[in-house]
Amino acid sequence: METTIKVENLSKSYGSFLAVSDLNISVERGEVFGLLGANGAGKSTSIECILGTKKADSGTVSILGMNPVTERKKLYEQVGVQFQESNYPDKITVSELCMETQSLYKTFTDYKELLKQFHLMEKEKSMVSELSGGQKQRLFIVLALIPNPEVVFLDELTTGLDVEARRVVWRSLDELKRKGLTIFLTSHYMDEVEVLCDRIGILRKGKMVFYGTVQEAIQSSNCTKLEDAYLYYTDQEGLNYESI
Ligand SMILES: Nc1ncnc2c1ncn2[C@@H]1O[C@H](COP(=O)(O)OP(=O)(O)OP(=O)(O)O)[C@@H](O)[C@H]1O
């Protein structure tokens, strides 16, 4: 198998606060990896350090065999990133923003196909600023996919999406995965994780407390559902576990 993302012994502190501690992750080509953890567990910090947009204190990262810090330009031709809050000009339409994004890359996918796939075609001429939260979220996924990437990083994939929109996103990602796209995502929704992820890592206070398949998480915690297994791993003091 071909390893697409390799993270070894990655750590990051903010002052004296250790946000990510000794992270090890390996994602194969065409695999979907989900990084899970409570608010503040260190997911975004990890993604930013992996992408090289934040400087890790120690550890090594390789994406498609490249170092994201020193080979940034070349790597970013093949990596898509979904931003939570994109910086876009005030008065720009959906299609203009897509075209602008296309212009940043040597090769790209037809954005209209992506807009269709993510049910945004009827918003093509709308101002980005006038889209609903869920429509914007889907647009940011489209923007991440425009370079026709080999790997895509999706932070809080479907936060704010309604039930139908989530299914649209899941279906589209599944299709892209079949074509060999490697996906690194974070999510707070265990149903989504069960549908999409081949392997997961659960972070608790910056440390990986579980790494393996969804089935392994369920089995090793003696639970029957992933949500319970997740709580078992993230809430080991038992404060909330089984409180409902
Ligand atoms: N720039 C910063 N300076 C200091 N502390 C930070 C900074 N960014 C993040 N932190 C802290 O690091 C920890 C991890 O934050 P991070 O954003 O990585 O968590 P997360 O798992 O992505 O959370 P969420 O699910 O809420 O998005 C938190 O305790 C946060 O307060």
Q: Is residue 237 part of a domain?
A: no
pLDDT of residue 237: 53
Classify residue 203 as exposed, middle or buried by CB count within 10 Å of its CB (0-12, 13-18, 19+).
buried
SS3 readout for the chain: CCEEEEEEEEEEEECCEEEEEEEEEEEECCCEEEEEECCCCCHHHHHHHHHCCCCCCEEEEEECCECCCCCHHHHHCCEEEECCCCCCCCCCEHHHHHHHHHCCCCCCCCHHHHHHHCCCHHHCCCEHHHCCHHHHHHHHHHHHHCCCCCEEEECCCCCCCCHHHHHHHHHHHHHHHHCCCEEEEECCCHHHHHHHCCEEEEEECCEEEEEECHHHHHHHCCCCCHHHHHHHHHCCCCCCCCCC
Rounded-to-integer distance, Cα 193 and Cα 216, Å? 14
pLDDT of residue 180: 92
Q: Is residue 241 part of a domain?
A: no
Q: How far is the CA of 42 from the centre of ligand 1 (A)?
A: 6
Look at ligand 1, atom 26, and give the residue with the nearest C-alpha.
39
The atom of ligand 1 lying closest to the CA of 37 is: 21
pLDDT in tens, 65-85: 999 999 988 998 999 998 766
- List the structure tokens of 58: 């120690």
pLDDT of residue 157: 83
**pTM of the predicted model, to two decimals?**
0.92
Q: Which of 157 and 20 is assigned the larger pLDDT?
A: 20
Cα(206) to ligand 1 centroid in Å equals 9
Give the mean pLDDT of 206-225.
94
Split at pLDDT 50, 70, 90, the class of 232 is: very high
> Which atom of ligand 1 approaches the CA of 38 most closely?
25
pLDDT at 85: 67
Residue 234 falls within a domain, yes or no?
A: no
CATH code of 139's domain: 3.40.50.300
Ligand 1 contact via 45 beta carbon (within 6 Å) = yes
Answer yes or no: is 153 within a domain.
yes
| Amino acid at position 120, single letter | L
pLDDT higher at 161 or 11: 11
Nearest C-alpha neighbor of 98 from the set 145, 53, 43: 145
The structural domain count of the chain equals 1
Q: Does the residue 199 lie in any domain? A: yes
Dihedral angle computed from the Cα positions of residues 83, 87, 88 and 89, in that order, rounded to the nearest 10 degrees: 170
Residue 99 located in a structural domain: yes
**Angle at 208 (CA atoms; ends 203, 209), nearest 5 degrees:** 90
- 138 domain-assigned: yes
Residue 45 CA, closest ligand 1 atom number: 18
Mean pLDDT value across residues 121-128: 95
Mean pLDDT of 221-241: 82
Mean pLDDT over each residue of the chain, to the nearest integer: 91
Check whether 133 has a pLDDT greater than 90: no
Give the domain extent around 137: 3-224
Predicted complex ipTM: 0.96
Integer Cα distance of 87 and 110 in angstroms: 22
**Residue 242: what pLDDT?**
53
Measured CA to CA, the distance from residue 62 to residue 16 in angstroms comes to 27
> What band does 240 get if pLDDT is binned at 50, 70 and 90?
low
Residue 1, pLDDT score: 65
pLDDT for the residue 21 = 97
Is there a domain that residue 233 lies in?
no
Give distance in angstroms: CA of 19 to centre of ligand 1: 7
The answer, yes or no, to whether residue 162 has pLDDT greater than 60, is yes
Residue pLDDT, tens place only, 83-119: 766 677 778 999 999 999 999 898 999 999 999 999 9
Residue 36 has pLDDT above 70, yes or no: yes
Cross-sheet strand order for the sheet of 3-14: 17-28, 3-14, 58-63
| CA distances for 192 relative to 26, 133, 205, angstroms | 21, 19, 23
